[in-house]
Amino acid sequence: MDPARSPELLTRLADDLRRADYTVDALEGLWGEEAAAALHRGERVPARRVLDARRGEHGASAPLAALAELFVLGLPVPVAEVGEALATLGVDGAARLGLVRESGGKVTAALDLRPYAFADERGEVEWWILSDLGELALGHALGEHHVLGVGGASMTLSGLMLPTPARRVLDLGTGCGIQAMHAARFADEVVATDISERALVLAEMNLRLNGIEGVELRHGSLFEPVAGERFDRIVSNPPFVITPRTEGVPEYDYRDGGMVGDALVEAVVRGAAEHLEPGGVAQLLANWEYRGEADGLERAVAWASSTGLEHWFVEREVQGVAEYAETWIRDGGTRPGTPAFDRLYDAWLDDFEARGVDRVGFGYVLLRRPVEQPDASAAPPLARVERRHGPLGGDASALGRHLAVMLAAHDRQALASDAELGMLRLRVAGDVTEERHYWPGDEDPTAMLLRQGGGFGRTVSPGTGLAALVGACDGELAVGAIIAALAQLLEVDEQALAAELLPAVRELIDDGMLLLPDA
């Protein structure tokens, strides 16, 4: 039986999970914050010890504890306990779905099944996500056809996703289906593709398990399954990991795209140009290589520029090749200090050395296909490149909303002339604070900083004039009136001051630190 084609069994499973209160909060309450933190580090011993100590006290939470041991900790659980926890589905039904195996009076998990919670513009949501068993449950390195569950990269991309309505969305390389599931909350139609047939089976199970409709799954590599089609939105956590194409080096479906270096990311960026509707936006995570004196971020930006796409690149981190190799060898489950680890380490460093690569950048990419403008005086295209290697603002899950607001604000301010900008009544964003630093005994500050609490957590060091202008932006006074008053106060030429401050005002609007009046 194809488990993805078993809607009745998946409905029974959902009923059992709901009845057991199999949720993120309930699990943390079951074993506590310390054990939960250890699980995030890949260590299950603290959680197991808590459950062992409390086994006689579970009472009504016994089904939750059984499911937690089975699917989260990856431990064998007596058949009777699993049968009680899955009273509607039954152990036999779980086996038919491919969830479990039974042997010697014990049940072991055949798939990972975890609760997943998040909040977006539509509200708070709880889902359950099926994926392949991780290293913790397997006790050995992952298989090359492993289907990954929800990890840090998945949550990063879903947090960046624009939470605005779209007609058609493409999830390129859907894996377990998590980005398609998020996209379905804002789109009329979602097409999700993957080169892994197993990933598509699990994605379909996740869609059915959580009652999500409007997603079409297609098999194939990159854009092949959607040849000739265009979308309002493309999201992708592509298999961008740079892996040596050497015999004996495992290639994992979920992370290794089969191309040399960062060629896969280049292919996704260039392919997006052919599959976006005018005004359509693509969002993806990506790596890019630094080769000697060649700037890796500039190379990646050139891919987008050559296609005519508007773009916004945010580089979050740069790793040396040794650290990069260690990260991804460990990711596959190969442990440091073993001959296998050393062999793979050599292969990675040989590959980088042969191609002159000394560092690898990681970041976020936003691409937009321009809308054709008949007016030759249209605003310049979005072309933004940032290196933000420090922490972001306080709420990473709200970055998608922040991006949507910033894109809309950029488009409005870019179309406005300086005279039109001067007539606008701006407001300081609610998460922006001002810091002033003084030498002891001085009346005037030696430094002023504007700090953004949310979004990208930006810090701007304004001059005296810009700080005064921002301080006066309360939504009542027009920018031009503020500049005129400042010119008189500072005894400088008004036009010269406007020429100095208006470009900075545009940047603060683009950054989300100054807010435009409602359109």
Average pLDDT in the chain: 91
Rounded to an integer, what distance in angstroms lies between the CA atom of residue 466 and that of residue 514? 12
Rounded to an integer, what distance in angstroms lies between the CA atom of residue 518 and that of residue 120? 22
**Counting every residue, how long is the chain?**
519
Query: pLDDT, tens digit, for every residue of 96-132?
Result: 999 999 999 999 999 999 999 998 888 999 999 999 9
Rounded to an integer, what distance in angstroms lies between the CA atom of residue 358 and that of residue 320? 6
Name which of 277, 204, 267, 261 is nearest 236 in CA terms. 267
- Of all residues in the chain, the percent with pLDDT exceeding 70 is 96
Name which of 315, 509, 505, 476 is nearest 408 in CA terms. 509
Query: pLDDT, tens digit, for every residue of 221-254?
Result: 999 999 999 999 999 999 899 999 888 898 888 8
Q: What's the whole-number mean pLDDT along residues 433-444?
A: 78
Rounded to an integer, what distance in angstroms lies between the CA atom of residue 160 and that of residue 343? 37
Helix (H, G, I), strand (E, B) or coil at 138: helix
Helices 494-510, 479-490: axis angle to 10 degrees equals 130
Is residue 57 a contact partner of residue 30, using CB atoms and an 8 Å limit? no
- Give the DSSP letter string of 187-218: EEEEEEEES-HHHHHHHHHHHHHTT--SEEEE
DSSP class of 272: H
Rounded to an integer, what distance in angstroms lies between the CA atom of residue 512 and that of residue 427? 10
Rounded to an integer, what distance in angstroms lies between the CA atom of residue 120 and that of residue 100? 33
Residue 59 has what pLDDT?
A: 62
H/E segment holding residue 65: helix 62-67
Residue 41 has what pLDDT?
A: 85
Q: What's the whole-number mean pLDDT along residues 513-519?
A: 89
Query: pLDDT, tens digit, for every residue of 321-367?
Result: 999 999 999 888 888 999 999 999 999 999 999 999 999 999 999 99
Q: What's the whole-number mean pLDDT along residues 136-145?
A: 80
Mapping DSSP onto H, E and C, the string for 322-348 reads HHHHHHHHHHCCCCCCCHHHHHHHHHH
Q: Answer yes or no: is pLDDT of 266 > 80.
A: yes
Task: Provide Rg for the chain, Cα atoms.
Answer: 26
Residue 1 has what pLDDT?
A: 47
